[in-house]
Amino acid sequence: MKTIIFLCLFAFTAGSVYGQERPPHEIHAAMLYNFIKYVQWPNEGDGGDFVVGVIGDDNVFNTLKQWYDGKPKGSKKYAIRKLGSAAEATECQVVYVGKSKNKDFESIRTSTTGKSVLTITDGNGLGQKGSCINFKVVDGKLKFELNQGVVSGSNLKVSSQLSSMAILI
């Protein structure tokens, strides 16, 4: 049932980028939330907060904060945080890097290497440069790349349902 819901949401959100009824930041926020459902973190059963950090896109941050902050995620609850620097990324389970901070991705990647942090970006070539998931527009449609090596190196497990919809790199 989860797969059907995700596929429906993905189909709804991944249509033509141009002429969308929903703003791109809402689409990114909804997809980010759904990506999380299909990834496993080590020690996921521990209590505390499940921290989603956002740097470089206030609209995505505000949407995530409004829609998901404080909501349950298993034994944890979502905590949506606006990041001011790459160093803060190490305190997160997920880091979304908006286009305005793409130039800072290298320092974010360096600070999260070897940690169980799912990095999600929105920039040309950032999947190849070490982002776990990167949004990409192909033929006017929003798609996403999944860097399997980086995900594995982060000690994260991605479900086959998510992998099957991704552009694998």
CA distance 143 to 137: 6
Q: 25-54, pLDDT tens digit by residue?
A: 999 999 999 999 999 999 777 778 999 999
Kind of pairing between the strands at 76-82 and 72-73: antiparallel
Provide the CATH number for the domain around residue 87: 3.40.50.2300
Range of the domain at 31: 2-168
Q: 112-160, pLDDT tens digit by residue?
A: 999 999 999 999 999 999 999 999 999 989 999 999 999 999 999 999 9
pTM here?
0.87
* Sign of the dihedral defined by the CA atoms of residues 92, 94, 99, 102, in that order: positive
Domains held by the chain: number? 1
